[in-house]
Amino acid sequence: MQTTLRGVGVSHGVAIGEVRHMGTAVLEPPAKQIPAEEAEREQGRARQAVEAVAADLVARGNLAGGEAQHVLEAQAMMAQDPELMADVDRRIAVGSTAERGVYDAFASYRALLAGAGEYLAGRVADLDDVRNRIVARLLGVPMPGVPDSDEPYVLIARDLAPADTALLDPTLVLGFVTEEGGPTSHSAILARALGVPAVVALPGAGELAEGTVIAVDGSTGEIFVEPSAEKRAEMESSAAARKAALSASTGPGATSDGHKVPLLANIGGPADVPAAVAAGAEGVGLFRTEFLFLDDSKQAPSEEKQIAAYRAVLEAFPEGRVVVRVLDAGADKPLDFLTPADEPNPALGVRGLRSLLDHPDVLRTQLTALAKAAEGLPVYLEVMAPMVADRADAKAFADACRAAGLQAKFGAMVEIPSAALRARSVLQEVEFLSLGTNDLAQYTFAADRQVGAVSRLQDPWQPALLDLVAMSADAAKAEGKSCGVCGEAASDPLLACVLTGLGVTSLSMGAASIPYVRSTLAKYTLAQCERAASAARAADSAEEARVAAQAVLSGE
């Protein structure tokens, strides 16, 4: 008998297939004591296992490329964290085996993060995965992970670690469902990059029996267990119609009455450029530059290395618009040479622009490299600062850009509610705004973007978040300037229409989402989008806002 479950849809598409579960977690190693004379040997075993796991993560990242590569490189750095390794050494010195020392050290750090409720708590799944890989290597047992199967299936897991998600084979993994995670978790971001339908934050997903046939709607978040023949036919027909519509939709983004809405791509580096070009991106709306800095947490990359990477991206979009975000370090992206190691709450501390203003040499080198990379190219370069709180922040960034001789537009990301509330003031110093809806939701609702338990507050359909978007867009219009969205909200086709109706002037998203957004936007007039936006803002919850907007656009 068909039953329906609902989670959070995070990656478009439909998948119908049998359930396969992720392998079980590594068993807890026995707590046995070792003689003192064996401590040095066990410490050596632990270090070798850590280095091997870190190297494997980096290798997986190199194979995956793009966004996945940056995530896995950050995870490799986590494996080699000197404080964690010092704790492992201490535990082995007082009698623990290598595997037990690793297990207990990671458990202690995990409890600290999870219990403190900090931004880094969102990396608990990543930490668990690193621990499991190290312990498995020390025990000499296979690493649990994606199941072996010759037939396509739908993958079910408590959560998916980046190392697993990055190398999923889309020809075998039709889609995936997780119990935890949120719309901006690593699993969600990588699913969109892969173009695999995915639903997260589905309580009880692990109870679905192996081999059960389910249908996954990655757009609505609905899961149909043992779907009827009629439901399967309906979903397959809908998927086929959507695919045909996507193929027929080409060219610049626009509403049906010709209102232009440039559709741009979010990228993490040169490796993401081919997919963006293939999807018809009109440029880059968010070029995350962290990938260059995560290679070595001890020092910033040279100016020459930065120039080469930036130019590779700029050359791919002649006559196009490329918006570069300067280094956003801190919180879940700590860098030894830049961010404090002892902050009680890194997400609310020295992060983003604050870190760069404390280290002006790092900012100056990056801005100078961007200026040199753009020399002689017919590209429209725009550079923006992360985590701008007020006009003083915006002025400090604009002054730094001018001092570096940068011939580009300077902008500010709106990720902190104060920047939205005082957007007209911020716009006295910069030429454009770009809304990072992931962090803006996190700070608006005090809801960690990686914690599944608060995923409803991370839903970009929340009316309070839409109010902040409208406030920013209205301010930009009043100042004759632009206001784009580069957060994951832009990848939702229906919400893209609402954002357009709110006055947003461009939308940037993962490349896989661009055809969906282009096709949907082309169905409606600007006036319809505006009415849908008004209906969504008048609602009292995210779900009511979504339903209200859909009702307007469908003519109900």
Measured distance CA(58)–CA(72) in Å, rounded: 6
Measured distance CA(145)–CA(63) in Å, rounded: 17
Side-chain-side CA neighbours of 225 within 13 Å: the count stands at 15
Max CA-CA distance within the chain? 79
Judge contact between 156 and 206, C-beta under 8 A.
yes
Interacting residues of 540 by C-beta distance below 8 A, sequence separation 6+:
463
Which one, of 195, 155, 146, 153, lies nearest residue 17 by Cα?
153
Look-up: residue for tokens 């978007």? 469
Which one, of 326, 437, 316, 320, lies nearest residue 380 by Cα?
320
Look-up: residue for tokens 């990301």? 413
Residue type for position 412: A
Measured distance CA(60)–CA(305) in Å, rounded: 23
Kindly provide the residue ranges of all beta strands, DSSP E only, lying in 366-467, ordered along the sequence: 380-385, 409-414, 432-435
- In DSSP notation, 240-267 reads HHHHHHHHH--SS-B-TT--B--EEEEE
The 3-state secondary structure of 23-47, one letter per residue = CCCCCCCCCCCCCHHHHHHHHHHHH
Single out the catalytic residue among 70, 186, 359, 401. 186
- Is 186 among the catalytic positions? yes
What are the residues facing 21 on neighbouring strands? Answer: 156
Q: What token pair was written down for 390?
A: 């007020």
Look-up: residue for tokens 């060219």? 251
Buried b (16+ CB within 10 A) or exposed e, 438-465: bbbbbbbbebbbbbbebbbbbbbbbbeb
Q: What token pair was written down for 448?
A: 């960690």
- Strand, coil or helix: 214: strand
Measured distance CA(451)–CA(115) in Å, rounded: 12
Residue type for position 256: S
Single out the catalytic residue among 401, 483, 486, 497. 486
> Please, what is the Cα angle at 241 between 238 and 242, to 5 degrees?
85
**Which residue numbers are catalytic?**
186, 486
